[in-house]
Amino acid sequence: MAAGGLRLGAVQRDGADLYWIEGRPAEGGRYALMRRSAEGAIAEVTPPEFNVRTRVHEYGGGAYLPRGGVVYCVNFSDQRVYRIASSRPPEALTPAGSFMYADFELDARRNRLICVREDHGGKGEAVNTLVAVSLGPASTSAKAAADRKADGGEVLASGYDFYSTPRLSPDGSRLAWLSWRHPNMPWDGTELWVADVDASGALSNQRLVAGGDTESIYQPGWSPDGSLYYVSDRDGWWRLYSDRSPEPVISNAPLDAEFGKPQWVFGTATWACAGPSRLVVSYTRLGRWYLGLVDLATGRLSPPVETLAATLQPHDWLAASDTHVALVSGFDAAPDALVDVELASGRIEVLRTASSLAIDPGNISVAEPIEFATDEGQTAHAFYYAPRNKEFSAPAGDTPPLIAISHGGPTSAAHPTFDLAIQFWTSRGFAVVDVNYGGSTGFGRAYRERLNGRWGIVDVHDVINAARFLSGSGRADEQRLIIRGGSAGGYTTLAALAFHPDVFKAGASYYGISDLEVLEIDTHKFESRYSHSLIGPYPAAKDIYRARSPIHAVERLACPLILLQGLEDKVVPPNQSEMMAEALRAKGLPVAYLAFEGEQHGFRKAATIIRSLEAELYFYGAVFGFTPADDIAPVHIDNLS
């Protein structure tokens, strides 16, 4: 599950070379940059002490760029930008201090990198800008190198709260980028700007191409002929457009398909040019992702070959050449893999797998999509996983305990791909339902906006209704319903337990939010106004924040709870879990609290992942009266007799 697993992502091409990031739990969660050469040799580009990860927006992404055999990347420990060439040690291009960088574009004509910079050097909120970082000659003098990186970059665009996706036209004469302001998140409303770039590198003639407060623009980029492509949800669904026509690029796209994603991290992609006349795209329908080809002459969408549409489920990145597309793909019953697909034949070459574990198909539970009735006559979506272990069967007439998962975000989504974290539970006799509650992405803007002003209500009711739907149809034991989630999903977990104490019999919150008001006051810039759309403007809506905070409804809690927290978490600070644990102890309810040194938002270390899963299983065993077969170190549970 942890020690042998990899997190694959951030795929990019540089000529015939292919690059990607590997997250390695066995190395403390370090992100290593890998390269596959044109000859097929795979090697790590970064030295062992490097962790290629940026903290811009805290969620990061867009931490490297390969061009011409040279790599520009961010090292997590100091957040500086480095140049790595094969014959030289890494060279710092930016100063140590308060700057963080992400989302790079090479301006070769002017010998500089264009990127997003986040400045934490002031007294107030961090300042985000688009900047140009001078490259200079690699073999420069020590003094010239120091001068080049002294100021942290020349500001090209400022004034907005956030920037992303700076992209130069093929001839270097125009720059496109996205910007947005509080309280919008990028899936609420962004603006797509284009400016001319003069010989000195200055921007002029800035003009708004698309977007606004109620239109989300995603992934602008240029085709070889200088056309600007981007994704917009102006008609309620993320569709692909270009600056050549007001109509969508794809003429036969399913009406319920989405070609965009919530921009939680930098550098994700759902389209790429495969030569001058076609695009490779990924799109989602009802929570499942597909790969397709678009003929730009006709606007027609088709799968590369029929088998691909049924097997590959693209994740957040793809990178195309004229003949191939590389992507990280999920599968129904196999671990994620980095694959390279030949577009003409559909031949799939597996370059790297996230796990080398050989799991018997008889022990794998495959997702079943379900739809169920929820509040106000609406329908919600989820994926159900039945218990599955070929060596064991339940007693006749028994129904399984059910773990209902509330995903994070909350503007995110559950996906039906093979996930060892889910298989961990289904192989041990639990059923799992992974819920795409109202507010999830992939179902259109209206579905996403069901959560606006109603966080803690719509999501909670949808997870409850999913559990009740399954228990009512005989696929879950009503007396053994469990809810678990992380981050925003941890909040949904705590809210369900506090405000609906008659439904679930146990819960697990991973770095979950217990006090919405404290979070509003003590969180990072990117999400500092997120609650304004989900709940209401603060402090005007202060009473609502308090009313929906589980910490203020502890007296209503009625079941055991385990809380797990990283002590270096800047997104949901540790005090959120600590307050809830103390309140439960004082009330006399069974509670376990595990805190992990060196972990931020989302656990990355193998030891943490293993301990947290085993502790959670041990906790359920103690609550429901069974002894896990696993050899697990005991967990201290307060108030459990």
92 found inside a domain: no
pLDDT higher than 80, residue 152: yes
317 found inside a domain: no
Q: How confident is the model at residue 524 (pLDDT cuts 50, 70, 90)?
A: confident
Q: How confident is the model at residue 163 (pLDDT cuts 50, 70, 90)?
A: very high
pLDDT value, residue 4: 62
79 found inside a domain: no
pLDDT value, residue 86: 80
390 found inside a domain: yes
Nearest to 371 by CA among 290, 438, 466: 466
Q: How confident is the model at residue 308 (pLDDT cuts 50, 70, 90)?
A: low
CATH code of 592's domain: 3.40.50.1820
Q: How far apart are CA 386 and CA 365, in angstroms?
A: 6
pLDDT higher than 60, residue 139: no
pLDDT value, residue 641: 75
pLDDT value, residue 140: 52
pLDDT higher than 90, residue 303: no
Q: How far apart are CA 290 and CA 303, in angstroms?
A: 8
pLDDT value, residue 146: 52
pLDDT higher than 90, residue 636: yes
The answer for residues whose C-beta is within 8 angstroms of residue 229's C-beta and 6 or more apart is 220, 221, 222, 223, 240, 241, 242, 249, 271, 279
pLDDT higher than 90, residue 481: yes
pLDDT value, residue 477: 97
pLDDT value, residue 138: 54
- What is the per-residue pLDDT across 348-364, written as a single tens digit (0 to 9) for each? 999 999 988 888 999 99
Q: How confident is the model at residue 84 (pLDDT cuts 50, 70, 90)?
A: very high
pLDDT value, residue 605: 85
Q: 369 preceded by cis ω (within 30°)?
A: no
607 found inside a domain: yes
* Percent of the chain clearing pLDDT 90 (strictly above): 83
What is the DSSP code string of 249-315?
S-SS--TT-B-----SSBT--SEEESSSSEEEEEEEETTEEEEEEEETTTTEEE-SSHHHHHH-EEE
What is the enclosing helix (H) or strand (E) of 365?
Answer: none
- What is the per-residue pLDDT across 388-413, written as a single tens digit (0 to 9) for each? 999 998 988 899 999 999 999 999 99
579 found inside a domain: yes
Q: How confident is the model at residue 150 (pLDDT cuts 50, 70, 90)?
A: low
| Angle at the Cα of 601 from the Cα atoms of 596 and 605, rounded to 5 degrees | 50
pLDDT higher than 90, residue 309: no
Number of structural domains the chain divides into: 1
**Mean per-residue pLDDT for 498-511?**
96
Nearest to 510 by CA among 382, 628, 421, 630: 421
**Mean per-residue pLDDT for 436-450?**
97
- What is the per-residue pLDDT across 560-615, written as a single tens digit (0 to 9) for each? 999 999 988 877 788 888 988 998 999 999 999 999 998 888 787 888 989 999 99
Q: How confident is the model at residue 307 (pLDDT cuts 50, 70, 90)?
A: low
Two tokens at 629? Answer: 């077969």
302 found inside a domain: no
Q: Domain of 503?
A: 361-624
- What is the per-residue pLDDT across 209-258, written as a single tens digit (0 to 9) for each? 999 999 999 999 999 999 999 999 999 999 999 999 999 999 999 999 99
499 found inside a domain: yes
pLDDT higher than 90, residue 270: yes
Q: How far apart are CA 80 and CA 148, in angstroms?
A: 13
CB 130 within 8 A of CB 115: yes
Residues in a beta bridge with 70: 67
